[in-house]
Amino acid sequence: MHDDLKFYLKDTIRQMVHFSATPQSRGLEPPPVQKPYPADVALLPLPGPDSWGDGLGMLPLREAIASRQSRRSFRQEALRLEELSFLLWATQGVRRAASPTAVYRTVPSAGCRHALETYVAVFRVAGIDPGIYRYVPLSHALLAVSRRDDLQNAVVRAALGQRFVGTGAVTFLWTTIPARMEWRYAEASYKVIALDAGHVCQNLYLACESVGAGVCAVAAYDQEAADALLGVDGEQEFTIYMAPVGRV
């Protein structure tokens, strides 16, 4: 057991950071608030909050909190596109873009840096072909990343053989781009990135409960397999968390 690794869970590190030397303090441009994509790539627009109305039949917040639990058994039933849209919005949706460097979302983030990206492995969602997609929060849309015949098995392998991770309607996979947080917080970034991931997944739990779906947070995975599944480099961007979602 390496006791020194506990150091990154303590805020003692903040007292050791030379904030005058951070990229922000040196006047360097911050990384983009969302991962860029080619201008000619077609996005799949998602129905936004204004179009949901009462069609989602959501539970009151108190009931969603009271019934929240991890669920590992899912029915083989598709999610509606509106439901996936709601879950994505609830976990990383944009409330207001205050400036090019400050975008307020539906979850808190240290310094409004939002160092996470959301990917979904879609198995059964009405109106969407199975495949890996990335959520583009500023446009509230999906960007197709890849399609493969062995998607379910690939997701299970990335989850260290945990079969339930590939049996839902969709599996959420979150990556982090640490440079977004490091721009402001340097070595103090890593604790708050982990905290931010917790905020996001808890919102997913409550949002799922509210629409009659289940979810289970998964922090045990094969790092290289998960990164390869999403097509990320494993250094500047890498997988940090995942969660299957399905009907229960």
- Asked whether residue 220 is assigned to any structural domain, the reply reads no
- Asked whether residue 167 is assigned to any structural domain, the reply reads yes
Q: What is the pLDDT of residue 2?
A: 55
Q: Which residue has the tokens 């975008």?
A: 103
Q: How many domains does the chain have?
A: 1
> 63-67, 168-172, 211-215: which has the minimum mean pLDDT?
63-67
Bridge partners (DSSP) of residue 132 are 121, 146
- Asked whether residue 209 is assigned to any structural domain, the reply reads yes
Q: What is the pLDDT of residue 59?
A: 86
Query: What CATH number is attached to the domain comprising 62?
Result: 3.40.109.10
Q: Which residues of 186-198 are buried (b: 16+ CB within 10 A; e: fewer)?
A: bebbbbbbeebbe
What average pLDDT is seen over the chain? 94
Residue 50 pLDDT greater than 60, yes or no: yes
pLDDT band at 214 (very low <50, low <70, confident <90, very high): very high
What's the rounded mean pLDDT across residues 76-98?
A: 95
Q: What is the pLDDT of residue 86?
A: 96
CB of 135 closer than 8 Å to CB of 119: yes
What pTM was estimated for this model as a whole?
A: 0.95
What's the rounded mean pLDDT across residues 16-25?
A: 93
What count of other Cβ atoms lies within 10 Å of the Cβ of residue 137?
21
What's the rounded mean pLDDT across residues 38-50?
A: 93
Range of the domain at 139: 56-214+238-248
- Asked whether residue 3 is assigned to any structural domain, the reply reads no
Q: What is the pLDDT of residue 3?
A: 64
CB of 47 closer than 8 Å to CB of 214: no
CA 213 from chain center: how many Å? 17
- Asked whether residue 48 is assigned to any structural domain, the reply reads no
- Rounded to the nearest 10 degrees, what angle do helices 189-210 and 81-92 cross at? 150
Task: Name the region of 131 (left: φ>0; alpha: ψ -120 to 50; beta: rest).
Answer: left
Bridge partners (DSSP) of residue 104 are 96
Q: What percent of the chain has pLDDT over 90?
A: 85
- Asked whether residue 210 is assigned to any structural domain, the reply reads yes
Q: Which residue has the tokens 């903040």?
A: 14
Q: What is the pLDDT of residue 195?
A: 97
What's the rounded mean pLDDT across residues 115-131?
A: 97
- Asked whether residue 110 is assigned to any structural domain, the reply reads yes
- Asked whether residue 42 is assigned to any structural domain, the reply reads no
Mean pLDDT comparison of 5-19, 62-76, 159-173, highest-scoring range: 159-173
* CA 115/CA 180 separation, integer angstroms: 5
